[in-house]
Amino acid sequence: MKKLVKKAVNQLGYELVKRDSSPVVKGDFWEDWFYKYPSELTDAYVFNRMQLSQVEDWLDEEIHRDSYWGYGVPDYLMNDRYKYNLNFNPFELTYTDLLCMLGRKMGEVKYLEIGVSAGKNFYQMYNSLGKSGLYGMDIESINPTIEKFLSGKSKTWEAGEEVDFRNGKNEMVKKRYSKHEYNFPSSKNKVTYLSGDKFDSLLWEQLAGVQFNLIFSDAFHRPASIKDEYEKLKEYDLIHKADFIMAWDDMESVEMQLAFQQICEDMCKNVFPGRQASFKVYDLHGTYAGKHTIGLFWTA
Ligand SMILES: C[S@@+](CC[C@H](N)C(=O)[O-])C[C@H]1O[C@@H](n2cnc3c(N)ncnc32)[C@H](O)[C@@H]1O
């Protein structure tokens, strides 16, 4: 009986955990990062606020309404009644400022963002980094607001068949997966946008041969989902074996923290054996929607 309940719960994308299981270490962002890299983080903050001020409206209402899942942006974040709405640029340091600072320290970056949404984070990443390859993955098409800053658009792949799935309104809809490539000439970056369901291997096959050193997982915030992503990263050999950093959003629940812990422990043991690596969760602002709890894994 216990097994059946466990299986049913797993199929829904959840996991049964003991309430007294210890969650991962909560890090102090100021001690671990700001006091170590005050000028680098301040530079990233100032640069990002300048880039954000170039965009007034992040997501056109019609595009939001006609999308599959509303770009993951709930209606209440599309208007300005809530302070941290999509168009509000936070004064606080954000996870994007941290990711940009970490990426800049790495130099040439291969960055993957799983769940791009309107692209408020992705846009700051391709502005901030230089001579890098930035890959975004989302069920939605690239948001025209961030696409207009890119040049040299070319469609480099399209799936043979359309896929049926349910949209946010529970209607059956069709989608043909695709891959588009762009240039961001001012910083010599290459941008690749994969549009499709990130649970489908077809999408991951398109990434084969790339080794990412900076990854942000921010799509479907369930334990089974982030574990599936991690398996795909290993299966397609997408993790760079030198310096490597990965972040996950929405680590508020014990269930997500336990999945994060399992992934990080597996990475320490099987991907980076003998290397010094750390992982912690931090409370940090997002580019919208207020404070988030993010998980961070990094090799020393
Ligand atoms: C929270 S938003 C991402 C926010 C973005 N990373 C940022 O910081 O601005 C989540 C995104 O994940 C996408 N998503 C959710 N499930 C997905 C799936 N199975 N395949 C592809 N994309 C998915 C949604 O379409 C949505 O745009």
Mutate to test the pocket of ligand 1, among 71, 206, 220 (most ligand atoms within 8 A of CB): 220
For residue 130, give every residue at least 6 positions away whose Cβ sits within 8 Å of its Cβ, in sequence order, or none.
Answer: 187, 188, 189
The answer to whether position 61 is within a domain reads: yes
| 3-state DSSP assignment of residue 214 | strand
Q: Please say if the pLDDT value at position 13 is more than 70.
A: no
Of all protein residues, whose CA lies closest to atom 14 belonging to ligand 1? 219
The answer to whether position 149 is within a domain reads: yes
* Domain around 208: 34-299
The answer to whether position 261 is within a domain reads: yes
Amino acid at 271: V
Q: Please say if the pLDDT value at position 138 is more than 50.
A: yes
Q: What pLDDT does residue 19 have?
A: 46
Q: Is the CB of 287 under 6 A from ligand 1?
A: yes
Of all protein residues, whose CA lies closest to atom 8 belonging to ligand 1? 121
Span 257-266, average pLDDT:
97
Q: Is the CB of 199 under 6 A from ligand 1?
A: yes
Question: Residue 131, class by beta-carbon neighbours within 10 Å (0-12 exposed, 13-18 middle, 19+ buried)?
Answer: exposed
Instruction: Tell me, yes or no, if the pTM score tops 0.85.
Output: yes
The answer to whether position 17 is within a domain reads: no
The answer to whether position 267 is within a domain reads: yes
Of all protein residues, whose CA lies closest to atom 11 belonging to ligand 1? 115
The answer to whether position 80 is within a domain reads: yes
CATH number at residue 93: 3.40.50.150
Q: Please say if the pLDDT value at position 3 is more than 90.
A: no
Q: What pLDDT does residue 168 have?
A: 86
**Beta carbons of 251 and 221 less than 8 angstroms apart:** no
| 3-state DSSP assignment of residue 163 | strand
Q: Please say if the pLDDT value at position 294 is more than 90.
A: yes
Whole-number average pLDDT of the chain: 94
The answer to whether position 79 is within a domain reads: yes
Q: Please say if the pLDDT value at position 296 is more than 50.
A: yes
Q: Report how far residue 151's alpha carbon sits from residue 118's, in angstroms, rounded to the nearest whole number.
A: 18
Q: Please say if the pLDDT value at position 1 is more than 70.
A: no
Span 226-237, average pLDDT:
98
Share in percent of the chain as helix, strand, coil (round to 5)? 35, 25, 40
Q: Please say if the pLDDT value at position 6 is more than 90.
A: no
Q: What pLDDT does residue 137 have?
A: 98
What would the 3-class secondary structure string for 75-140 be? HHHCCCCCCCCCCCCCCCCEHHHHHHHHHHHHCCCEEEEECCCCCHHHHHHHHHCCCCEEEEEECC
**Beta carbons of 61 and 86 less than 8 angstroms apart:** no
The answer to whether position 20 is within a domain reads: no
Instruction: Please compute, for residue 80, the number of CA atoms within 13 A of its CA located in the half-sphere on the CB side.
Output: 6
Q: What pLDDT does residue 16 have?
A: 59
Ligand 1 centroid to residue 8 C-alpha, Å? 25
Length of the chain as a residue count: 300
The predicted-structure confidence for 68-93, as pLDDT tens digits, reads as follows 999 999 999 999 999 999 999 999 99
Q: Please say if the pLDDT value at position 98 is more than 60.
A: yes
Q: Is the CB of 70 under 6 A from ligand 1?
A: no
The predicted-structure confidence for 151-205, as pLDDT tens digits, reads as follows 999 999 999 999 998 998 899 999 999 999 999 988 899 999 999 999 999 999 9
How many domains, in total, are found in the chain? 1
